[in-house]
């Protein structure tokens, strides 16, 4: 190549084409400018200080005790999250271990904080102080009060990181944007907590076991939530509150699993809770919340999310509105069926899942078919084979023995492709079911078998299996032992089932602000049966539907917070509550009860 050509190439090449690589290692000779592993800096910051815009700083394996400040435009690469650990030096409250710089990149480290002993921070990307990182990727970030803080109008990419045991994983504030994608969060109070941010995109993250709000936003606008898997340990999946500004935040193709066991102190977990937001909530699986979607309106704004093509399954209450808010389901497409996940911790869909090809027809999966509902569907989903698993084995067997009949019941299976149940019976404990043991072929729509063929005083053993439409048989249920006597009840475990309907007096009574109502349901008719508890004022006007769902036999309880259907506090006074079963008023068998609310 001629000298003129070389000069022309140099003139038009960007400066990073001439970039250098600097090294830091525990075993280097610490010789400036640290241009090889042999001459590597013993201190990472020295390697950073020797670099300039466009350079790369590589850090060898080992454990380092430093607080780092990057310089603009460099790439800082550790030997890998499993072999290169960065610990904070001189730990103090509020300390930040790694401060970014404009256009720099951080990857390949395990950043190990000291939370909860010290409330320190991992990485800071701050546009207002020329510390706006370009990317943070492929790191493990553990034991910080805040793993990554995004401040100012930064647009940092945060991808492929593992966040573990932090209070908050990522904290976007003061106009921060950015793309948060393909990260895994485990054991946090809040995985992503936004305050006054300007619309980050949160996509394809896995969030497991949060104890407050998995994704939380205050004063935040124009966010996008797409293709996230959220399995909360307690309280909220997604919680958004504009605090005085009407905002938008589409929520699409997520699988959001709540936790109804987190109910306590009048606090009701919500899979999606929004206030003063106008959301498009579409193509999501929303399951196991006390409330599936809860909305409220404050500060003079109307909250009216458009909810379509979602699967709301196994929530205590699917929709809750308060303070003049509403939920618009007019576009349709919502279903209320078992999504049929592959396993307890595997949220892929099985063959015959009602969520397959059931999303918005205008949204396509990566294979160009109609979108599936949930985490693996939609534009950013994935293509995989739907496996045809057999149904789950029937469970919760129980029986009532009377002089002429044994009534066997079980919890109905919820798969969408069921065909029928088979009931097996023998007089030998631990029997293995076979065709000669079959005593009943029961429709998929029933979970009751009536046995008239028995001898009083003898002991019988029952098991049940279920078949699907493609010929798969479930495993057999656990064995239920039944002694044929005149009147008795049996269950797989636990105390006998109630024999009569019973509605207990609420406690405390009088009460403020809440009270608990206990009621008992016997094993009568189709199970689970439709149960309703209504609350009336002294004029006989219904003020609240407290329970409206299917329940199995046994003891149940529900808490009333003294509010009406709209979430408004009711006045002091006398109120009545009444129980109905399968649409039938149980009076005079079960009389309404009186309670007193005192403000």
CB neighbours of 368 closer than 8 A, spacing ≥ 6? none
For residues 157 and 176, the model is more confident at 157
Confidence category of residue 495, pLDDT binned at 50, 70, 90? low
With a cut of 70, say whether residue 10 has pLDDT above it: no
Is 395-491's fold the same as 502-597's? yes
pLDDT value, residue 129 = 79
List the one residue out of 127, 182, 171 whose CA is nearest residue 145: 171
Cα angle value 220/256/187 (rounded, 5°) = 80
- DSSP, collapsed to helix, strand or coil, labels residue 436 as helix
Average pLDDT over the chain, rounded to whole?
87
Range in 156-165, 397-406, 472-481 the model is least confident about: 397-406
The pLDDT of 499-506, averaged and rounded, is 84
CB neighbours of 548 closer than 8 A, spacing ≥ 6? 530, 531, 532
Query: Which two tokens mark 296?
Result: 């409220």
List the one residue out of 141, 51, 7, 40 whose CA is nearest residue 87: 141
CB neighbours of 584 closer than 8 A, spacing ≥ 6? none
Confidence category of residue 493, pLDDT binned at 50, 70, 90? low
Q: Could you read off the pLDDT of 284-337 as tens digits, one per residue?
A: 999 988 888 888 876 666 678 899 999 999 888 888 888 778 889 999 999 999
- DSSP, collapsed to helix, strand or coil, labels residue 262 as helix
pLDDT value, residue 263 = 39
Query: Which two tokens mark 22?
Result: 């600097």
**Candidates 2.60.40.10, 3.30.70.270, 3.40.50.720, 3.40.50.10330; correct CATH number of 395-491?**
2.60.40.10
Confidence category of residue 8, pLDDT binned at 50, 70, 90? very low
With a cut of 60, say whether residue 572 has pLDDT above it: yes
The pLDDT of 185-202, averaged and rounded, is 90
With a cut of 80, say whether residue 497 has pLDDT above it: no
Query: Exposed (0-12), middle (13-18) or buried (19+): which is 264, by Cβ within 10 Å?
Result: exposed
Q: What is the pTM of this model?
A: 0.79
The pLDDT of 41-51, averaged and rounded, is 97
**Candidates 2.60.40.4070, 3.90.1170.50, 3.40.50.2300, 2.60.40.10; correct CATH number of 502-597?**
2.60.40.4070
Q: Could you read off the pLDDT of 100-133 as tens digits, one per residue?
A: 999 999 999 999 998 888 889 999 999 877 899 9
- DSSP, collapsed to helix, strand or coil, labels residue 44 as helix
pLDDT cut 90: percent of the chain above it: 60
pLDDT value, residue 521 = 85
With a cut of 50, say whether residue 265 has pLDDT above it: no
* CB contact at 8 A, 132 and 149: no
pLDDT value, residue 267 = 47
pLDDT value, residue 399 = 85
Q: Where are the domains of the chain?
A: 395-491, 502-597
With a cut of 80, say whether residue 49 has pLDDT above it: yes
Confidence category of residue 262, pLDDT binned at 50, 70, 90? very low
């Amino acid at each position: 190549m001629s000298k003129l050509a070389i000069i022309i190439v140099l003139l038009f090449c960007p400066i990073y084409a001439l970039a250098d690589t600097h090294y830091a290692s525990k075993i280097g000779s610490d010789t400036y400018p640290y241009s090889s592993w042999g001459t590597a800096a013993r201190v990472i910051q020295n390697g950073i200080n020797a670099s300039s815009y466009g350079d790369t700083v590589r850090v060898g394996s080992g454990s380092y005790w430093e607080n780092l400040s990057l310089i603009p435009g460099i790439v800082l690469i550790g030997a890998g999250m499993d072999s290169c650990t960065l610990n904070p030096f001189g730990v103090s409250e509020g300390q930040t271990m790694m401060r970014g710089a404009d256009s720099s990149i951080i990857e390949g480290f395990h950043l190990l904080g000291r939370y909860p002993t010290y409330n320190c921070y991992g990485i800071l990307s701050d546009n207002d102080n020329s510390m706006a990182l370009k990317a943070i990727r492929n790191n493990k970030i553990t034991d910080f009060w805040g793993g990554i803080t995004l401040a100012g109008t930064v647009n940092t990419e945060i991808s492929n990181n593992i966040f573990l045991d932090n209070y908050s994983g990522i904290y976007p504030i003061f106009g921060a944007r950015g793309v948060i994608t393909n990260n895994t969060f485990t054991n946090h109070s809040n995985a992503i907590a936004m305050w006054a941010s300007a619309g980050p995109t949160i996509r394809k993250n896995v969030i497991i076991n949060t104890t407050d709000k998995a994704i939380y936003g205050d004063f935040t606008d124009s966010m996008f939530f797409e293709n996230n898997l959220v399995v909360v340990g307690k309280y909220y999946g997604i919680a958004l509150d504009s605090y005085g500004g009407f905002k938008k935040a589409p929520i699409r193709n997520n699988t959001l699993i709540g936790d109804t066991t987190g109910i306590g102190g009048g606090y009701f977990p919500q899979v999606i809770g929004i206030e003063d937001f106008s959301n498009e909530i579409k193509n999501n699986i929303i399951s196991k919340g006390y409330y599936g979607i809860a909305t409220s309106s404050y500060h003079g704004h109307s909250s009216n999310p458009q909810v379509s093509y979602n699967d709301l399954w196994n929530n205590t209450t699917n929709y809750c509105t308060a303070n003049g808010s509403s939920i618009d389901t007019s576009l349709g497409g919502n279903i209320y069926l078992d999504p049929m996940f592959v396993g307890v911790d595997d949220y892929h869909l099985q063959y015959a899942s009602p969520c397959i090809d059931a999303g918005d027809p205008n949204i396509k999966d990566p294979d160009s078919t109609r979108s599936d509902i949930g985490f693996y569907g939609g534009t950013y989903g994935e293509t995989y084979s739907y496996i045809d698993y057999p149904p789950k084995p029937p469970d919760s067997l129980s029986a009532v023995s009377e002089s002429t009949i044994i009534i066997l019941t079980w919890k109905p299976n919820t798969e969408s492709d069921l065909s029928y149940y088979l009931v097996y019976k023998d007089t030998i404990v631990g029997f293995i079911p076979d065709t000669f043991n079959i005593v009943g072929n029961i429709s998929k729509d029933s979970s009751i078998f009536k046995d008239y063929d028995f001898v009083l005083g003898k002991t019988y053993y029952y098991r049940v299996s279920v078949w699907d439409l493609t010929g798969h048989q479930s495993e057999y249920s656990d064995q239920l032992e039944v002694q044929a006597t005149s009147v008795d009840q049996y269950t797989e475990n636990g105390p006998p089932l109630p024999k009569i309907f019973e509605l207990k007096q609420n406690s405390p009574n009088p009460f403020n602000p809440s009270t608990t109502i206990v009621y008992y349901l016997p094993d009568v008719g189709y199970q689970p049966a439709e149960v309703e508890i209504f609350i009336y004022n002294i004029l006989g006007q219904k003020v609240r539907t407290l329970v409206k769902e299917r329940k199995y036999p046994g003891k149940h309880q529900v808490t009333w917070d003294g509010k009406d259907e709209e979430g408004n506090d009711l006045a002091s006074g006398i109120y009545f509550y009444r129980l109905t079963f399968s649409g039938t008023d149980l009076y005079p068998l079960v009389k309404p009860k009186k309670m007193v609310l005192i403000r």
